[in-house]
């Protein structure tokens, strides 16, 4: 057992290292992609913010120029003073501002006078509002231009970078212009320009999400491909290791069985003939004594012991020289039902509850029904002996990967771990009676059908027998 584990470990170690390296590399690449995407989002936002700042300042310069030329000068020449409360002046100012900003991404324009009062705005409801500019107004009044990013939304929206509303607010002085001079003129007021950046920010976020999902999809496909290659390599190595071990075991077992078969055949021929004579004579003697009404249990004991000895010889022959199965299409469920029907008196007497768990329709498969009947009968008898009384026997059947899986789980005490590795050894038994060949015969029958059998302790307690039989098998 230790040799098998060591062989499988040594064969699979290189592929496990490749698998771990592949998984670790892909995780690092994925995390790196996420980090780069986040940094790229921040870089794109900063770039967009700087672009909008410059864009806003250019708009304000142009707006300042147009207001001074088309509104301030004509109004001063005509009215001698600027008073936007007059309808004609306000309409002229509104016309100049809107025509200048037409087609540009501007949501709001507010113009403050020197007393921090809103003299003009796209929103007429706030015209005349006093002290509305704050510190940014004061900075602009002192000749400085400043821009701030304002965002509004829930905590999670702000955290992941997709606020409900994002806008850039720019304050700049509104100045009088001096022809042919680079020296700025006196400050006439303050312009507040508001630009909505929500759509740009959301577009950047959507682009990065697409990049992340695309990268993740590519890495997932790469991971699945590499994982498939590694698994296939592992499966090939494990299959070769198991095949080598199986061939070595079969070779050793064949040598052992060859010697055992020769010995058993010789013994059986030497014993069976006189044993048959002894049994027949005892039966004849019993009949004569029954006619004479003589009470003597000796003839019956001889008959019973002769039958028991004949069964032992039969077990030897079945184990040493297993029959070749006569494969015919049959239902495993029907074979097991026949076993349970035969054992029904014993099940009722022991108060054993049988649970059947059949998952989906089961196909007919090519088997030797008589041989499988014998195999399942031995397994059921072992389970009944383990449970004694008031137990439960669970029988599960299902199809997995072109294999019919039959599972038998009893509610007995299970198998002692000290003997778990010895239960398949010929002549090994922990019972007072028996040859220790029952499980060996079962194993021979299952393997003659190109199947597999495993015996272990169930997680819920008791013993668990797992049998796998191929669905596709040519019949004789």
pTM for this predicted structure: 0.41
Mean per-residue pLDDT, 17-23: 69
The pLDDT score that the predictor gives to residue 396 is: 92
Calculate the average pLDDT of the chain. Answer: 78
Inside any domain, residue 438? yes
Inside any domain, residue 381? yes
Inside any domain, residue 423? yes
Residue 1's pLDDT band (cuts 50, 70, 90) = very low
| Sequence-ordered list of residues with C-beta below 8 angstroms from that of 250, at least 6 positions apart, any chain | none
Stretch among 39-43, 108-112, 405-409 having the lowest mean pLDDT: 39-43
The pLDDT score that the predictor gives to residue 32 is: 77
Please report how many Cα atoms fall inside a 13 Å half-sphere around the Cα of residue 408, on the Cβ side: 22
Mean per-residue pLDDT, 112-134: 86
Inside any domain, residue 159? no
In angstroms, rounded to a whole number, what is the distance separating the alpha carbons of residues 379 and 465? 8
Inside any domain, residue 444? yes
User: Across 74-88, 151-165, 232-246, 457-471, which has the greatest mean pLDDT?
Assistant: 457-471
In angstroms, rounded to a whole number, what is the distance separating the alpha carbons of residues 81 and 77? 8
Residue 449's domain comprises 325-476
The pLDDT score that the predictor gives to residue 314 is: 67
Q: Output 46-49 pairs: Cβ under 8 A, ≥24 positions apart.
A: 48/197, 48/200, 48/201, 48/204, 49/149, 49/168, 49/197
Inside any domain, residue 64? no
Domain of 475, CATH number, reads 3.30.565.10
Inside any domain, residue 393? yes
Strand 328-330 vs strand 392-400: parallel, antiparallel, or unpaired? unpaired
In angstroms, rounded to a whole number, what is the distance separating the alpha carbons of residues 256 and 281? 36
Inside any domain, residue 155? no
What's the structural domain count of the chain?
Answer: 1
Residue 476's pLDDT band (cuts 50, 70, 90) = very low
Q: Which residue has the higher pLDDT, 319 or 280?
A: 280
């Amino acid at each position: 057992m230790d040799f098998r584990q060591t062989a499988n470990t040594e064969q699979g170690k290189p592929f496990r290292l490749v698998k771990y390296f592949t998984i670790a590399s892909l995780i690092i690449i994925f995390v790196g992609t996420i980090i780069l995407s986040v940094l790229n989002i921040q870089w794109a936002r900063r770039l967009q913010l700087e672009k909008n700042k410059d864009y806003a300042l250019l708009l304000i310069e142009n707006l300042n120029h147009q207001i001074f030329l088309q509104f301030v000068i004509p109004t001063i020449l005509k009215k001698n003073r600027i008073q936007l409360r007059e309808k004609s002046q306000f309409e002229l100012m509104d016309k100049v501002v809107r025509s200048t900003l037409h087609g540009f991404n501007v949501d709001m324009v507010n113009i403050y006078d020197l007393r921090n009062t809103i003299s003009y705005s796209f929103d007429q409801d706030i015209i005349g509002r006093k002290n509305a500019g704050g510190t940014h107004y004061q900075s602009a009044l002192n000749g400085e231009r400043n821009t701030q990013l304002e965002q509004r939304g829930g905590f999670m929206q702000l955290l992941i970078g997709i606020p409900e509303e994002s806008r850039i607010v720019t304050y700049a002085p509104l100045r009088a212009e001096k022809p042919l001079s680079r020296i700025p003129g006196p400050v006439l007021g303050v312009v507040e320009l508001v630009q909505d950046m929500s759509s740009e920010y959301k577009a950047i976020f959507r682009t990065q999400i697409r990049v992340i999902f695309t990268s993740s999809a590519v890495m997932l496909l790469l991971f699945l491909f590499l994982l498939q290659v590694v698994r296939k390599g592992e499966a090939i190595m494990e299959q070769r290791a198991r095949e080598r071990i199986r061939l070595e075991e079969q070779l050793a077992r064949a040598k052992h069985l060859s010697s055992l078969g020769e010995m058993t055949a010789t013994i059986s021929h030497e014993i069976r003939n006189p044993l048959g004579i002894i049994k027949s004579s005892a039966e004849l003697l019993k009949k004569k004594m029954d006619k004479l009404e003589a009470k003597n249990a000796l003839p019956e004991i001889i008959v019973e012991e002769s039958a028991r000895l004949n069964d032992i010889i039969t077990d030897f022959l079945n184990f040493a020289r297993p029959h070749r199965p006569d494969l015919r299409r049959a239902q495993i469920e029907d074979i097991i039902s026949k076993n349970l029907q035969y054992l029904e008196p014993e099940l009722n007497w022991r108060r054993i509850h049988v649970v059947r768990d059949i998952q989906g329709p089961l196909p007919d498969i090519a088997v030797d029904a008589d041989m499988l009947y014998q195999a399942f009968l031995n397994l059921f008898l072992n389970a009944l002996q383990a449970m004694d009384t008031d137990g439960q026997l669970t029988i599960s059947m299902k199809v997995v990967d072109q294999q019919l899986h039959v599972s038998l789980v009893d509610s007995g005490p299970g198998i002692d771990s000290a003997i778990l590795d010895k239960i398949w050894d010929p002549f090994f038994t922990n019972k007072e009676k028996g040859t220790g060949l029952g499980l060996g015969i079962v194993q021979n029958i299952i393997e003659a059908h190109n199947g597999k059998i495993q015996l272990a302790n169930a997680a819920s307690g008791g013993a668990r027998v797992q049998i796998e039989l191929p669905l596709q098998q040519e019949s004789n």
